[in-house]
Amino acid sequence: MFRMTRLEAKRSVAPALLLVLAVLARIFLWMDVQQWAASWTSLVYSLRSTAWICLPVVLAAAIWHGGRERRSAVSELFAATPRPGPVRLLPALVVVAGAAVVAVAAVIGWSVVIVSGNATFSDGGWPLGLAVGLLAVVAVALLGLGIGRVAPAPVAAPLGAVLLFLVLAVAQIRDGRPANRLVDTVLPMLPVTDDFHRVLPSLSAGQAVWLTALGVTGVLLAVAGTTRARVLAAAPAVVGLALGSLVAPSGAIVPESRATELVCAPEDGRVCVTRVHRAALPDLLPPARKVLDAFAAVPGGPTRVQEDPVSWMLDDGRAAGGAVDTGTVRIELPYRTQQGGIRWEPDTVVDLVAQHAVVDLGCFSDERGWTRASDASRAVSAVLLGTPADRLGPVARAAHDTLRALPDGERYRRIGEARKAGLACQDPLAAVTGDVATGEGAGR
């Protein structure tokens, strides 16, 4: 059996499949490396998202390999050998599926090494998520071999790849998460998530049931000798889909409270980040303290900078009508990784913290309100931080000049009023310029 498997590997599409699949997965993961290189949750999501390009390649190679006997008109010759059909087909199944698994596993190993050196939190569910991704590769490879045995035409391989690519690509670009358990179970990708949420393990379990059944269907198609047997081969896939959708949860994404626990600077506790982004704290400290010191003379100014764990994508936001905590600057970190760690330009972080210290840009849904709030925050930041005003737009420059012309006490009072307005979804620019009577709110 070992000799047959070795010969099968040499004369099959396995070497080419291994190389092409590994290169494709590596390229597409590297294009998004800044998003996942310090997060286990993001790694699993990104790896599973490569299914839209990797699985069609696996399917095409498997279909082509499965149909080679009938294309070469040697099916009857091989059928006359004393070995049973399933035994004769076993090397092909092992070699093609094994090549695909080795390629993807190598990319997974590379990415796990990167994340393990940077991640500061894990919910423990990432091995299951990655294992189900490998199972998807095996299932599609086996299904492709079965399809190739049934439909050996040369056009079957490219047609199957194109159809699968279109289905997965459309699913990948859908806005929001799949709407029901059936769709969640069928798709090899995971619903959209972030570092503050996790995918329930029961979804991966349901997908594993479905993918295992799909692989069984592929094997049964490969060994089926009659039309009736080929029709019955679809039964495991149907049953697996039904069982998998029952195992999968109705809501696959849930908040991860452990990831959003706050970790504060040990020196004074004025700057805090979430546990999952703990590695970002040293880079955030100097810019955050610079902004807090600049706002120290403002009445009711901020005394604390804190990463906001509320997800704009998956959470409903803070409760409407709740009290506004003007003493805390809540920011959404521009979470990126470069060269194995989290890096930002300090000026970028200063601007980000200063902007959130003045306004809550999430309040302003219309373009005019957002523009006025942004101009107000830029003007205030330039005045307090002493940054050059020549980069400001005309409106922000006029507001800056207005503040600079005021006595210190009045200037800080107006900035304090602007903060109250900007954080309460009102017009901060009117408070800066002193035109409160005509200022228009632009809140939600």
- CA 74 – CA 139 distance, rounded (Å): 27
State residue 253 phi and psi, 5-degree precision: -105, 125
Query: Residue 19 to residues 23, 96, 97, 110, 150: CA-CA distances in angstroms?
Result: 6, 12, 14, 15, 27
- CA 50 – CA 53 distance, rounded (Å): 6
Task: Please name the residue that has the structure tokens 């050196």.
Answer: 117
- Tell me if the pTM is above 0.95: no
Residue 122: strand, helix, or coil: coil
Name, in order, each residue with C-beta under 8 angstroms of 85's C-beta and a sequence gap of 6 or more. Answer: 79, 223, 225
CB 245 within 8 A of CB 185: yes
Query: Residue 134 to residues 55, 131, 285, 398, 399: CA-CA distances in angstroms?
Result: 11, 5, 40, 59, 57
Per-residue pLDDT of the chain (444 residues; tens, 9 = 90+): 556 566 666 667 888 999 999 999 999 998 888 888 888 998 999 999 999 999 999 999 999 988 876 555 445 445 555 555 566 678 878 888 999 999 999 999 999 998 998 888 888 899 999 999 999 999 999 999 999 988 888 899 999 999 999 998 887 665 554 457 888 899 999 888 888 899 999 999 999 999 999 999 999 998 888 889 999 999 999 999 999 999 999 888 889 999 999 999 988 789 999 998 888 888 888 889 999 999 999 998 899 999 888 876 677 655 433 456 778 898 887 655 444 444 556 777 788 888 889 888 778 778 888 899 999 999 999 999 888 888 888 999 999 999 999 999 999 999 999 999 988 888 899 998 877 544 444 444
Name, in order, each residue with C-beta under 8 angstroms of 391's C-beta and a sequence gap of 6 or more. Answer: none
